[in-house]
Structure 1
Amino acid sequence: MAAGIPFGEVCKAVGLPRGTVAHWFHGERARRRLMHPPEPSRCPRCRPVPGLPQDQKSYSYLLGLYLGDGHLVTSAKVPVLRVSCTATWPGLIDECETAMLAVLARNVQRVRQTGCINVQSYASHWPCLLPQHGPGRKHERSIRLTDWQQPVIDGNPGSFLRGLFHSDGCRVTNKVVRSGRTYLYPRYMFSNESTDIMALCQESLDQLGLRWRMCRRNLLSVARRDDVRELDQYVGPKH
């Protein structure tokens, strides 16, 4: 080693495993480090040159879920992202887990509670990818997209709307009676107490050219037949 011979060549010369030779030179801690080198971070924001999520479609969907029924706990030793999904929609639960794995998570747990399943993942870098987290309820604090999030959502408005409607929205059949005749037609409803999150929903609908109206302060409706048909391509009913 002192003569500058590469470590691998030294191991071959003495005919011993790399871990054993490393232990001789560096002790147990360095031996573990050589045998199991740390994996590079999956977080694109913590690299020497910060980048965007690799799977931007899954990220946009997951962000929509988080803004609706998600919660990021940062007070624990390792941050944990939880999204509460109604237990009667197994497809939604599967899709949420798939999105977490695609964006950052290595492991995802499903914790059953009364009437719902908490899909959760522990990862140190969730706060980097979800900077909208903070103390208190979402509708009581400002929710704004960062400079790097905006182009991601602008490029994937359908996936973002899918996440929003899968969390705080629904597709229903509206019934109207006029002149003794009954008319049935589908429409989308999105409900959220945060004016900022509602504005993000409106902006993505505008970007897709879909018409919407506010039924009340915290309830948005997409009811025109062509717009519902178009939104079906991105969202569709929960399953």
Structure 2
Amino acid sequence: MASHAPSKRTEALTLLRAGVPNREVAEQLGVPRGTVGWWRSEDRRARGEEYRRPTDCPRCTEHAVDRTAYSYLLGLYLGDGHIVSKPGQHHLSVYCDARYTGLVAAAEDAMRAVLPSTATGRRSRNGCVEVKSYTRHWTCLFPQHGPGPKHERRIALELWQREIVDARPWEFVRGLIHSDGCRITNWTTRSVGGERRRYEYPRYLFTNKSDDVRALFTGALDALGITWTVLNRDGKPYNISVARKASVALMDLHVGAKY
């Protein structure tokens, strides 16, 4: 590290204590930003000041949450998301099929809208893209975080989350479908005039092992007037189906297939 006159360090600390950002101090005094950051760190340590990283977490500050983005991201998290929160490592991850580039972008956009100051990135692995956002404050926003798979523990929304989902139900349903659901085309045959004819029809499916997450999904569908049924898989009610024509039309209008 280059040597600087004590007077320059004193001037820098005066500016830093007045709230001037590191970058501006470095530019004003012609000192590398890393040097300014080191001076700030040493000054804090000498004064016994605990550093707290600035945040725009809506649960810890007066910042308003983007309800549309949060409701969608909550659906993604409950489906294919998880949080790592331990000393030295804190991030939210949502896994997306690499084929759906629009979904990957939507997940990243939602994270940035909910916590704009947080670093966000992507990591490709085995045909999927892990969209990651780094901060310990995701546990504030998703209190459902806990040890073990979601289907092995209780998943319930807090009152403030329920208010957001009630206000933005379509975004919540869209997030759940984009994580653990799909839009497919089924077919069947019928006898018409003694002749077997093939008919095709669209269907939305949502698959999740958690009874609680499925109940949140079907509860939102009920509130939206969507007709649904349960399709058992291996004797378990893991699949929720939406196949009625009018309901599918509403889902197409507000949710749509992954892209």
Report the TM-score range of the alignment, normalised by the length of the smaller protein.
Answer: 0.7 to 0.9
C-alpha separation between the residues in 2 aligned to 1:79 and 1:173?
40
Partner of 2:227: 211
Contact 1:22–1:31 (CA under 8 A) maintained in structure 2: no
Matched residue type, 1:212: W
Residue matched to 1:87? 98
Are residues 1:35 and 2:47 paired? no
Residue 22 of structure 1 deviates from its aligned partner by 9.2
Q: Which runs of 5+ in 2 are unaligned?
A: 1-6, 23-51
Tell me how far 1:147 sits from its aligned partner: 1.2
CA distance, structure 1, for counterparts of residue 16 and residue 189 of structure 2: 73
Deviation at 1:79, TM superposition (A): 1.4
1:4 matched residue in structure 2:
none
Q: State the Cα distance separating 1:31 from its structure 2 match.
A: 4.5
1:75 deviates by 1.6
**Bigger CA drift: 183-192 or 30-39?**
30-39
Q: How does 1:1-239 map to 2 (within 5 A)?
A: 23=10, 28=13, 31-33=15-17, 34-36=19-21, 41-47=55-61, 53-105=64-116, 106-179=118-191, 180-216=196-232, 217-239=237-259
CA distance in 1, matches of 2:57, 2:125: 30
Q: Is contact 1:139-1:195 (8 Å) kept?
A: yes
- Structure 1 residues 225 and 99 mapped into 2: Cα distance closer, same or farther (>3 Å)? same
Gaps of 5+ in 1: 1-19
> CA–CA distance in 1 between the matches of 2:169 and 2:87?
32
Mapped partners of 1:76, 1:177: distance in 2: 58
Q: Which residue of 1 aligns with 2:43?
A: none
Cα distance in 2 between the residues matched to 1:162 and 1:115: 22
Return closer, same or farther for 1:177/1:111 CA change in 2, 3 Å cut-off. Answer: same
Distance between the aligned counterparts of 1:124 and 1:143, measured in 2? 20
- Partners in 1 of 2:83 and 2:176 — Cα distance? 17
Aligned to 2:25: none
Q: TM-score, normalised on structure 2?
A: 0.78
SS at match of 2:59: helix
Superposition RMSD on alpha carbons, in Å? 2.0
**In structure 2, do the counterparts of structure 1 residues 110 and 213 end up closer, same or farther at CA, with 3 Å as the change threshold?**
same
Q: Which moved more, 1:119-128 or 1:71-80?
A: 71-80
The 2-side partners of 1:43 and 1:78 are apart by 18
Aligned residues: 214
Could you say if the C-alpha distance between residues 107 and 134 of structure 1 is closer, same or farther in structure 2, counting changes exceeding 3 Å?
same
User: d(CA) in 1 for partners of 2:106 and 2:87?
Assistant: 26
Amino acid of the residue matched to residue 139 of structure 1? Answer: H
CA distance in 2, matches of 1:76, 1:206: 41
* Equivalent AA in structure 1 for residue 16 of structure 2: R
What is the percent sequence identity of the aligned residues?
46
